[in-house]
Amino acid sequence: MGYQQLPSETMNMEAISKATFGDNGDANSGSYSSWLKEHPSALGSFDRMMSTAKGSKIVVFLDYDGTLAQIVDNPDIAFMTDAMRAAVHEVACCFPTAIISGRCRDKVHEFVKLNDVYYAGSHGMDIMTPVRSLKFRDHKHQTTSIDEKGNKVFLFQPAQDFLPTVQEIFRVLGEKTKCIKGAMVENNKFCISVHSRRVPEEDVAALEKLVTSVMEAFPEFRLTGGKEVMEIRPPIAWDKGLAVEYLLDTLGFDSSSDVHPIYIGDDVTDEDAFKAIKRFGQGYPIVVSSIPKETKASYSLRDPKEVMSFLLHLAQWKRS
Ligand SMILES: O=P(O)(O)OC[C@H]1O[C@H](O[C@H]2O[C@H](CO)[C@@H](O)[C@H](O)[C@H]2O)[C@H](O)[C@@H](O)[C@@H]1O
């Protein structure tokens, strides 16, 4: 195969979990309880976590799908609840808060509808901040723009050079996958998602084969996976972990200051961010999962409802 394929990422996470932990990996099973010993609940561990972080600066990073919004069949209607929006707003009033998603940045903003959080779309390849990064002196990819309130902002778009090709791939995949019922190709600006969630089980392999053959014409591009989705990404060394580092630096929280970053996410691409928090040396990588799975996260939350509860606890802790 000509493109860079990461086999473990292309497997469905539920399949990985079953292969690793057996069929009974649900939240009530024994394997989940033993997994919890390795990745304790961030709610149950809240007091301990916060007593370590007390007096330091907390920065909150959130994934969108599967973390702030439930996973649903149709990606176009993966809305977050008003209660979740209020919880994110509460947290953003207390701590710098960023949302880092695989989706296109505008789409996440449209779903979240909050102006007091920072947005990074396309798996961190499209970051908007009010300040320019000093450490990442990549001025070619740091440009200025005007946000919806008329303020000057900086955009960091390290995959800019690949934009025309990504859009060409989107067009070709859209055409070619028309023959597979239920297939959906989503334009995430600097990357593309090909969804198989609504494809009949017996056609999923054909869809994967089709996408693979289309991508042979674009051998540099990376093909990775997620929850019933194939992700096409440009060949640059950039991921959600580097986006976390970029944001920490840009917002003035380098490793020399006393900072505890928190990252909450549920999918394969969030693992890069968990690793970044570990590289940072302090902070809390939290995986959202109701089944045991391989992860670099230190803590866990079962589902978006528990995420909401954690965010509310965090805001309440700060206010008290
Ligand atoms: O980084 P994220 O914010 O988690 O985005 C990752 C992908 O999420 C979306 O797909 C996933 O959620 C859909 C809606 O619940 C679901 O139908 C799909 O099966 C999931 O893979 C989004 O549509 C993708 O573009 C993102 O890359």
Three-state SS for 111-122 is: HHCCCCCEEEEH
Cβ of residue 12 lying under 6 Å from some atom of ligand 1: no
CB-ligand 1 contact for 240 (6 Å cutoff): no
pLDDT at 26: 60
The whole-number pLDDT of residue 14 equals 44
Listed residue (119, 193, 186) closest to 156, CA to CA? 119
What was the pLDDT predicted at 2? Answer: 32
Do residues 166 and 145 lie in contact, with contact meaning Cβ atoms separated by under 8 Å? Answer: no
Which atom of ligand 1 lies at the shortest distance from residue 196's CA? 19
**6 contacts 272 by C-beta, under 8 angstroms:** no
Q: How far is the CA of 75 from the centre of ligand 1 (A)?
A: 6
d(CA 207, CA 151): 43
- Evaluate: CB of 124 within 6 angstroms of ligand 1: no
Measured from the CB, is residue 272 less than 6 Å from ligand 1?
A: no
pLDDT at 27: 56
Alpha-carbon Rg for the chain, nearest whole angstrom, is 19
DSSP letter string over the chain? --SEE-HHHHS-HHHHHHHHH-TT-STTSHHHHHHHHHS-BTTTTHHHHHHHHTTSEEEEEE-SBTTTB---S-GGG-PPPHHHHHHHHHHHHHS-EEEE-SS-HHHHHHHH--SSSEEEEGGGTEEEESS--SSS--GGGEEEEE-TTS-EEEEE-TTGGGHHHHHHHHHHHHHHGGGSTT-EEEE-SSSEEEE-TTS-HHHHHHHHHHHHHHHTTSTTSEEEEETTEEEEE-SSS--HHHHHHHHHHHTT--TTS-EEEEEEE-STTHHHHHHHHHHHSSSEEEEE-SS----S-SEEESSHHHHHHHHHHHHHHHH-
pLDDT given for residue 130 in this prediction: 85
pLDDT of residue 92: 98
Q: Write down the pLDDT at residue 128.
A: 95
Q: How far is the CA of 151 from the centre of ligand 1 (A)?
A: 30
pLDDT value of residue 11: 38
105 lines ligand 1 (CB under 6 A): no
Could you tell me if the CB of 64 is within 6 A of ligand 1?
A: yes
Ligand 1 centre distance from Cα of residue 53 (Å): 31
Closest-CA residue, ligand 1 atom 26, reads 102
Question: 271 CB less than 6 Å from ligand 1?
Answer: no
Look at domain 161-233 and name its CATH class.
alpha beta
AA identity, residue 80:
M
Question: Which one of 88, 227, 287 would you pick to mutate in the ligand 1 pocket, going by the greatest count of ligand atoms within 8 A of its CB?
Answer: 227
Distance 90 CA to ligand 1 centre (A): 24
pLDDT at 255: 65
Q: Is 41-158+237-319 CATH 3.40.50.1000?
A: yes
Alpha-carbon distances, residue 88 vs 54, 260, 286, 310 (angstroms): 20, 18, 16, 10
Q: Does 189 sit in the ligand 1 pocket, CB within 6 Å?
A: no
* Cβ–ligand 1 contact at 101 (below 6 Å): yes
> Which residues in the chain land under pLDDT 50?
1-24
Q: How far is the CA of 96 from the centre of ligand 1 (A)?
A: 24
CA dihedral 17, 22, 28, 34 (to 10 degrees): -80
ipTM of the complex: 0.99
pLDDT confidence of residue 5: 38
- pLDDT at residue number 6: 37
Domain definitions of the chain by residue range: 41-158+237-319, 161-233
Given its phi and psi angles, is residue 22 left (phi above 0), alpha (psi -120 to 50 degrees) or beta? left
